Amino acid sequence: MAEENRTSTKEEETAAAETKKSVTKDMLVGEIIGRYPDAAFALMQCGMGCISCPASQGESLADASMVHGLNADEVVEYVNEYLTYMEEQRASGAAEEPQA
């Protein structure tokens, strides 16, 4: 029985690690938004209002940050914190899902 509990805990930890959202500054802006749609709002909050521009889609987050005079590491930290927050809100039922 104890063996089963340890296995379940390891499986849960692995699943949690796999679902943890992790944006890096090397990722393309288009890749980030495609993978994590909530990141669009966070990026706009950072000052990147042109994230839907076709040119930005092929630009790394580091390059986009530089163009906007932002510290890429701070942008990455903010976006990841925002994504984690939104995930927690949805899990608790506090976040409203967008209307189709």
For the whole model, what pTM was predicted?
A: 0.72
Q: Which residue has the tokens 């939104």?
A: 86
Residues with Cβ within 8 Å of 62's Cβ and at least 6 positions away in sequence, in order, are 25, 26, 72
Q: Which CATH fold topology does 22-92 show?
A: SP0561-like (1.10.3910)
Which of the two residues, 14 and 26, has the higher pLDDT score?
A: 26
Q: What is the DSSP string of 12-70?
A: HHHHHHHHS----TTSBHHHHHHH-TTHHHHHHHHT-TTTTSHHHHTSBHHHHHHHTT-
Tell me the per-residue pLDDT of 49-94, one tens digit each, with 9 for 90 and over. Answer: 877 788 778 899 999 999 999 999 999 999 999 999 999 998 988 7
